Amino acid sequence: MRKAPRRERRRAWTLILVPPRPGARTRQLSVRARTVGVLGSFVFVTIATAATWTRETTFIAAASADKLAESQRLVVGLLDSVDALGALVAKERAARLPPRNMVLPVSGRISSRFATTRLHPILDIFRAHRGVDLAAPYGTRIVAPASGRVRYVGWRVGYGLTVELEHSGGVVTRLAHCGKALVKAGDRVEIGTAVATVGATGLATGPHLHFEVLTRGRSVDPIQFLASSRRALAPEQATAKNE
């Protein structure tokens, strides 16, 4: 008679569990090697998965931080662009508006006012007087009534030595009968800058400054225009009233 084959004894681990309560009975737990292997594999997979998840989480966090920093840089750049655009718009708007707080180019007595018709003291004919005459001694400094650019320096028939300044908003001021020019065409001048001296060149009976203001080529009363530049009333409204 053949003997039945002996079963192979499976290796197992014996775990002794010691309860924390004093005097309690210890217990034994048999754990097979296969179970230990499965548990070990599970633990390894769990640890590997956790490590992978941690690396991916760290990578995602770093990528998110980079994107956030890039967004912040874009926002700062956009804000700078908005500020620059605002400054440009303000500058362009100011260039379209007439000057504010203008001053008389010379301190003197008004000897002849702006008028649509006047008897010329030398030609003895009636014609428009497109500015005001300010009597002052020879050599008195003539200043720019507002900031701008010198567009012309030279002699004009009747006006004598003339300096013309171009300002914002299409405004031009004309200073005539000058004795001497202190600037040249193309110069930039600020309000109050000396540009010429009082003389009696051209058709003049004595030393004085002939002062004109032109808005887009039309002559207006200089005194009213300067006054309007200091009030809430816009200079272009004052021009419309004079017309």
Maximum average pLDDT range among 14-23, 43-52, 132-141: 132-141
Same domain? 92 vs 127 = no
> Does residue 60 lie within any of the structural domains?
yes
Same domain? 41 vs 160 = no
Same domain? 89 vs 14 = yes
Same domain? 150 vs 73 = no
CATH code, domain carrying 186: 2.70.70.10
The C-alpha angle 32, 33, 39, rounded to 5 degrees, equals 95
Name the residue range of residue 31's domain.
8-96
pLDDT score of 241 more than 70: no
Name the domain count of the chain: 2
Summarize pLDDT for 53-76 with one digit per residue, the tens.
566 667 677 777 777 777 777 777
pLDDT band for position 234 (50/70/90)? very low
Same domain? 126 vs 231 = yes
